Structure 1
Amino acid sequence: MFFRRAPYDGMDTSLRWHDGVSMSSFWIVGCGTMAGAMVAGWRRANALPDGLLAIRPSGRPVDGVATVTAIPGNGEPTTFLLGIKPQKLDEVAPLAEPRVGPHTRLISILAGVELASLRARFPRAGSILRAMPNLPVSEGCGVVALVGEGGSARAAEPLFAPLGHVHLARDEAEFAAVGALAGAGPAYVARFVAALAKAGVARGLDPDVVARIALHTVLGTALMAETHGESMDSLARRVASPNGTTEAGLAVLDSDGALDRLVARTLAAAARRGQELAAAARG
């Protein structure tokens, strides 16, 4: 079993109670890789939410955050963030639902689980929204897509602003598209950096040296584009001299749209998996 219902263990989490409701409190159930990156980003920006409580069955501590192994047996937090795997939703929802009432804003970072599916499992929630962060939120330079019921996404924008760029999606279709791009994007960029490094090794460079060179090449390119607001096409043209070495390499990437088609297939695969998760949650 992933979570058990248990009485609150008395740990001081700076919660204030009024008529059985915990005021100014923020519970995260399942503080794994992505939710942990969000906590790291908030901590880095000195913007940790008030009364933050991490609920982890392992009991493994979250740096700077009160941590318990089970969902508290009483209280209603002002914010309840679902940070579990989508496949665990139906195991965790019955245990979490008693704590998610009309005073609670429910935030889900579960890939593919739609607002209607969340509302079906948490009918008493005051508001429900979905967030799709990516791992660089830990450094304050990530992307967070938001979509929610009514104006809940816009109301939550200040909460996520310390983590990087916040995109308010018009609907869940746009939210899913941004998630496939930005949510999964760091993994694809990491693969490209690794491919650059492997190619450098094949050209006789030392693996440690070429790994640093490949990483700083990508970092510098991103920083230059961000600083000057330059498009990627413009930047590529500036680097490539006519009939030069860079242009010869670009000809390989651009041949028959090979790179564009590869990336499009990659994002399509991620989107299909999101649709499968959505269908499973609806079912």
Structure 2
Amino acid sequence: MADPLLPGPLWLAGCGNMAGAMLARWIEEGIDPAHVSVIRPSGRPIGEGVRVTTDYPEDEVPAIVLLGMKPYQLDVVADALAPILDEETILVSILAGVELASLRMRFPVPRTIIRAMPNLPVRLGKGVIGLFSDSDDLAARNLTTGLMAPLGHAEWFDDETLFNLVTTLAGSGPALVYRFIDALAEGGAKLGFPKDRALHLALATVEGAAILARSANTDPSELARQVTSPGGTTEAGLKVLDSDGALSDLVVRTLEASRRRSLEIAAEARRKE
């Protein structure tokens, strides 16, 4: 990705795991680190050439700001950052659950505010990034789309309620997959595999299955049927997962818990301190 996609300085207000993964991918794809400033209280370095400060730079006005801190830090960040931004600054928030109205309440000047919900595979360019904005600035939206493209599959949503579900499904999804990989490896170890070999086989199995599911011209349930021979070993295992809808019910309850927490964060953010 070439720097012409950046119309000016890029600031990251906070740089946790997700924002750090996005930044690392952007730099790999060609953004000049000299055009990036990371503002974080710790002042810990990010990478070669990236300016890291504990306060907001006074020598420039950012073209794009990524809110990459934790949602509970929103008010502290907004108090210091909001007065710096101008109308043309594109504000991108990856704060789970924090609605656009809550952002506009704290950042009244920028014309374009965009909510983005990435997941951790953005680090490899294999992420999912949901996007939502009430801005009709087509240039700003296109610029943001271009910025997100190297991170993986970027998709715009017209409905904020639907966008919020991206947090639940795609944002939390990798952690659920990692838990399944752990469980698959642990199950193999309990059956007698050495732990390291069980994990290696589990990882390779999930990787291959995901690639096939993505490329196949059929749905996952049909792929599962193709793997399952009547009276065979796979059928015996699936009977356990499918008994009384055990797996489906567990996943739905897991996603619902994630969604409830997103709604709680949204409610907390509406109450400006």
TM-score normalised by the chain length of structure 1: 0.88
Offset from partner CA, 1:195-222 (integer Å, 9 cap, x none): 0011101101100000110011000101
Counterpart selection for 1:260 from 245, 248, 262: 248
2:230 partner letter: P
Give the whole-Å Cα distance in 2 for the aligned partners of 1:219 and 1:266: 22
The answer on whether the counterparts of 1:24 and 1:50 sit within 8 Å (CA) in structure 2 is no
Question: Secondary structure of 1:146's match?
Answer: strand
Residues paired across the two proteins, number = 263
Q: Report if the CA contact (8 A) 2:65-2:90 is conserved.
A: yes
In structure 1, stretches of 5+ residues that fail to align are 1-13, 15-21
1:55 maps to: 39
Task: Name the amino acid aligned to 2:207.
Answer: L
Task: Find 2:24's aligned residue among 31, 40, 45.
Answer: 40
Which residue of 92, 97, 110 maps to 1:107? 92
The equivalent residue for 1:147 is 132
Q: Which residue of 1 aligns with 2:186?
A: 198
Residue pairs, 1:45-84, within 5 angstroms: 45-47=29-31, 51-64=35-48, 65-73=50-58, 75-84=60-69
SS at match of 1:124: coil
Q: What secondary structure sits across from 2:129 in the alignment?
A: strand
Matches within 5 A, 1:156-195: 156-195=144-183
Taking structure 1 as reference, are residues 49 and 125 closer, same or farther at Cα in structure 2, changes over 3 Å only? farther
One-letter amino acid matched to 1:165: H
Q: Deviations over 1:222-243 (max 9, x none)?
A: 1112233432112111111111
Report how far residue 130 of structure 1 moved.
0.4
Which residue of structure 1 lines up, in the alignment, with residue 106 of structure 2? 121
Counterpart in the other structure of 1:231? 219
Inter-CA distance 48–107: structure 2 relative to 1 (3 Å threshold): farther
Matched, 1:214 2:198: no
Q: Note if 1:25 corresponds to 2:13.
A: no
User: What residue is the counterpart of 1:4 in the other structure?
Assistant: none
Segments of 4+ moved more than 3 angstroms: 47-50, 151-154
Structure 2 residue runs of 5 or longer lacking an equivalent are none
Task: Give the SS at the match of 1:97.
Answer: helix
Residues 78, 106 of structure 2: 8 Å contact kept: yes
1:98 maps to a residue whose letter is P
- Greater shift in the superposed pair: 65-74 or 242-251: 65-74
AA in 1 matched with 2:47: D
Residues 272, 48 of structure 1: alpha-carbon distance in 2 compared, 3 angstrom cutoff? farther
Question: How large is the Cα RMSD of the aligned pairs?
Answer: 1.9
Amino acid at match of 1:197: A
Equivalent AA in structure 1 for residue 46 of structure 2: V
Cα separation, 2, equivalents of 1:54 and 1:103: 20
Relative to the length of structure 2, the TM-score reads 0.91
* Higher helix proportion (structure 1 or 2): 2
Q: Once the 2 structures are TM-superposed, how far is the Cα of residue 192 of structure 1 from its aligned partner? A: 0.4
Matched, 1:92 2:77: yes
